[in-house]
Amino acid sequence: MTDAAAVSLRSVGRTFASGEVVALKEIDLEIAPREFVSFIGPSGCGKSTLLRIIGDLIKPSAGEVIVNGKTAHQARLDRDYGIVFQDAVLYDWRTVAKNISLPLELAGWDRGRRDARVNEMLDLVELTGFEKRHPWELSGGMQQRVSIARALSFSPALLLMDEPFGALDEMTRERLNAELLRIWAETQSTIVFVTHSIAEAVFLSTRVVVMSPRPGRITEIIPIDLPQPRTNAVREDPRFFELVTRVREALHGGSGRDSELRLAEAE
C-alpha cells in the first residue's frame, strides 16, 4: 500500500529560525493516486509549507517524504509534479502559448510535439484563440487557467495547488472549481490543494485535511462522500451543508476561540 501511495508523509516536521518557530510537527498522511486532498486551516498552520515540502521546494527538518515511490527530491528532479501558485506566475515576455510550453522546452521536447501539446492544453482550459496573447492582456481567471495548463502540460501524475483561486472573485472561483474537477477527471491526476475556503475544500475534495497552528499539525481528516462527478448542483445538496458545517466545527474546535479569531483574520 505504501509503495502505491502518490504521496506519503511520515512524522514530517519543520522548524524555522533555528528551532524557535515550529511550523509543522509530526505530520503523518498518505495520499492515494487519483485522490483530491485539500489542506485547510488558519494562517500560520503550515499548509503552504507542507505543500512545498511535498514539492521539495522546502526541506523538512524531520521525517520522511515519499512522492510516487521515491524521495521528494528525486521526484522533483524527475519532474513528477506540476505546481500552481496563488499568483499565476506567468512570464510577461512570453505569450500564452510559450508560457504553457516552458516546462516542455526545459524537458527538451521538440517544436512539433510542443505545439501539439500546447494546443491540447489550450483546449483543456478553454483558451483556444488566446495563444498569441501576452499574460497582461488576460483577466485574473484566464491567467490562472494558463497557469494550470502549464502545470499539466507535461502530464505529471501529481498536481500541487497553493490557494490557486484565492485572489479571484467568488463567481470566477466557482466556475474554475467546476472546471478543475472536469480537468481532474480527464487527466486522472492526483491533486493536493491548499485553500482558505471551506466551501471550496468540500466541493472539490475526496478528503479534507484540517490543520491548526502553533505548532502546525493535522487535527482532523474528513472524508467527503459527495457523489462523483460533481456539478454546481452539489452546492445545494443538504449533505454539502452538513460537510461544510463539519469542516467548520473541526477548524474552530482546533484550539478554541483563539483559532476562530485567527481564521477570521486570515479571511
Partner 1 sequence: MSGYTVTPVAGERVLGRTVRTAREWLPAVAVLVLGLALWEGLVAALHVQRFLLPPPSDIIRTFFDERDVLWHAGWYTFKEALGGFAIGCSAGVLFAVLVGRFRLLRTAIMPYAIAANAIPIIAFAPITNQWFGLLNPLSKMVIAAVLCFFPVFVNTLRGLTSVHPSSIELMHSYAATERTIFRRVRFPNSLPYLFAALKVASVLAMIGAVVGEYFGGSQEALGVQIRNSAALFAFETAWAAILVASLLGIGFYLAIALVERLTMDWHPSARAAE
Q: Which residues bind partner 1 (CB under 8 A)?
A: 52, 55, 57, 76-79, 81-83, 85, 87, 89, 91-95, 102-103, 106-107, 134, 136
Helix (H, G, I), strand (E, B) or coil at 214: coil
Q: What nine digits make up the cell of 204? A: 472539490
Smallest gap from residue 149 Cβ to partner 1 (A): 14
Q: How many CB atoms lie within 10 A of CB 81?
A: 25
CA pair distance 132, 41, nearest whole angstrom: 39
CA pair distance 160, 172, nearest whole angstrom: 20
Q: Which is nearer to partner 1, 107 or 261 (CB)?
A: 107
Distances from the Cα of 92 to the Cα of 99, 138, 146, angstroms: 9, 11, 13
CA pair distance 196, 60, nearest whole angstrom: 23
Q: Which is nearer to partner 1, 2 or 93 (CB)?
A: 93
Smallest gap from residue 135 Cβ to partner 1 (A): 9
Smallest gap from residue 82 Cβ to partner 1 (A): 8
Q: Which is nearer to partner 1, 93 or 264 (CB)?
A: 93
Smallest gap from residue 127 Cβ to partner 1 (A): 18
Q: Which is nearer to partner 1, 4 or 57 (CB)?
A: 57
Q: Which is nearer to partner 1, 86 or 255 (CB)?
A: 86
Smallest gap from residue 251 Cβ to partner 1 (A): 26
CA pair distance 90, 262, nearest whole angstrom: 31
